[in-house]
Structure 1
Amino acid sequence: MAMNNVLAIVVVLMVANVKAIKTTVRVENDLTVDTILTLHCKSSTKDLGAKVLHSGQYIEWFFQPNENTKYWCSVLWNNIQQKNIVIYDAAKDAEICTDKCWRGISPDRIYFYNQFKSTWENRYHWN
């Protein structure tokens, strides 16, 4: 009987720990030196506001995702036309990240970090 109680407690703690994992989305300015990037990211329930990032700087935020969690960002630098992109989509990103959903904005594309393979993947082309 005591062994069953210990096993039940261990299972409850494991489930609680799995639910406690938070996803971190990080978006970095990987543009050329002295290029200022303006990001405005939001979900259907949360607006993170506009952020100005100098070369090498990043913004990151944490949340408990569900299967419907999605964040969009408007991206603008120099006089390049503003682009609106899905920066995080729980349904699609589960295959490449759970807690480290990092993104790098470069002059011609956006890279998404695959934490399971420890590689950067080309996900968006600007053209």
Structure 2
Amino acid sequence: MAAGGGSIAVAMAAMLICVASGKITVQITNLIRYDKVMVIDCRSSEDDLGQHTLLYGQSMEWRFKPNFSKTTLYYCNAMWEADVRLKIHFHAYEYMRDNYGCGSDCRWLFTVNGVYAYNSKHDSWDFRFPWYV
């Protein structure tokens, strides 16, 4: 082994251990209206998180380790009743989008206007998409 080759191997191993041990938290909060419940069902190809009914101000969250191939994807279907049934299908966590976007703390906020995602770089809530009928 050439001089310095051992230190490169150690640095790469340390980086892999850091990536492999990192856990992600996804949190989804209902702030639609005080008198409205939101029903949400989230899953990945490996985990079915089940259906949850969130009252105003309630959250659901889960923790996981992204897979080594960087293809981790959690998607959700959410709905609530207004004069009509409003619903949305969205990716709650997508490795290629969120690894550098939200890092290890991915938060979603559901409001009467639509869905917001927390931007940790700018400490702000960014509008992502509206509800659809």
Tell me which interval the TM-score lies in, with the shorter structure as reference length.
Answer: 0.7 to 0.9
CA distance change for structure 1 residues 11 and 110 in 2, over 3 Å: closer, same or farther?
same
Q: Which residue among 112, 117, 124 is the counterpart of 1:119?
A: 124
- Give the alignment's Cα RMSD to 1 decimal: 2.3
Q: 1:110 Cα shift?
A: 0.7
Task: Report the secondary structure of 1:102's partner residue.
Answer: strand
Superposed CA offset, 1:64-108 (max 9, x none): 113211111111112424322222111112232111100011112
Contact 1:36–1:55 under 8 Å retained in 2:
yes
Instruction: Number of aligned residue pairs: give it.
Output: 123
2:85 and 2:72 mapped to 1: Cα distance?
Answer: 28
Q: Which residues of structure 1 form unaligned runs of 5+?
A: 1-7
Which residue of structure 2 lines up, in the alignment, with residue 97 of structure 1? 102
Q: Normalising to structure 2: TM-score of the pair?
A: 0.79
Correspondence for 2:112 among 107, 114, 125? 107
* SS at 1:73 equivalent: strand
List alignment gaps of at least 5 residues for structure 2: 1-8
**Which residue of the partner structure matches residue 80 of structure 2?**
77
Q: Give, as a single letter, the amino acid of the residue that structure 1 aligns with 2:43.
A: K
